[in-house]
Amino acid sequence: MKIIASNFKTNHTRKSASQFIKQVDEFIDKSNIKNDVLIFPSSTSLDCFDIAQNIFIGTQNAYPVSDGSYTGEIGTIHLDEFGIKTILIGHSERRHIIKEPNELIIKKYDFFKARDYKIVYCIGEPLEVKNSGTEAIIEYLFSQLEGIDLSYENLIIAYEPVWAIGTGVVATIDDINEIHSILKQKISAPILYGGSVKVDNIESILKLECVDGVLVGSGSWNVEDFIEMIKIGAKEK
Give the binding site for ligand PEP (CB under 6 A): 7, 9, 160, 165-166, 194-197, 215-219
- Crossing angle, helix 14-31 and helix 223-235, to 10 degrees? 30
Is 81 among the catalytic positions? no
Q: Please state the separation of Cα 138 from the chain's center in Å.
A: 20
In the complex with ligand PEP, which residue's Cβ is closer, 76 or 109? Answer: 109
Beta-strand runs (E) in the chain? 3-7, 37-40, 55-57, 86-89, 118-123, 155-159, 191-194, 213-216
Give least dist CB 226 to ligand PEP, A.
Answer: 11
Among 55, 50, 25, 23, smallest CA distance to 38 is for 55
Question: Taking the C-alpha atoms of 202, 205, 211 and 214 in order, what is their torsion angle to the nearest 10 degrees?
Answer: -20
> Which CB, 76 or 163, lies closer to ligand PEP?
163
- Report the residue number, 115 or 198, with the smaller CB distance to ligand PEP: 198
Considering beta carbons, is residue 76 or 92 the nearer one to ligand PEP?
92
Q: Does the annotation count 209 as an active-site position?
A: no
CB of 216 to ligand PEP, least distance (A): 5
Output the DSSP codes for 3-69.
EEEEE-TT---HHHHHHHHHHHHHHHHHHT--S-EEEE--GGG-------TTEEE-BS---SSSSSS
| Active-site annotation holder among 91, 93, 125, 180 | 91
Q: What is the DSSP-derived secondary structure letter of residue 209?
A: T
Considering the complex, state which of residue 194 and residue 213 has its C-beta at the smaller distance from ligand PEP: 194
Smallest gap from residue 9 Cβ to ligand PEP (A): 6
Q: Residue with CB nearest ligand PEP?
A: 217
- Reference 176, options 157, 198, 201, 193; nearest CA is 193
Determine the distance from the C-alpha atom of residue 84 to the mean position of all C-alpha atoms in its chain, rounded to a whole number. Answer: 15
Nearest to 40 by CA among 89, 105, 88: 88
Nearest approach, Cβ of residue 217 and ligand PEP (Å): 2
CB of 139 to ligand PEP, least distance (A): 22
Catalytic, out of 125, 160, 180, 236: 160
Active site residue ranges: 91, 160
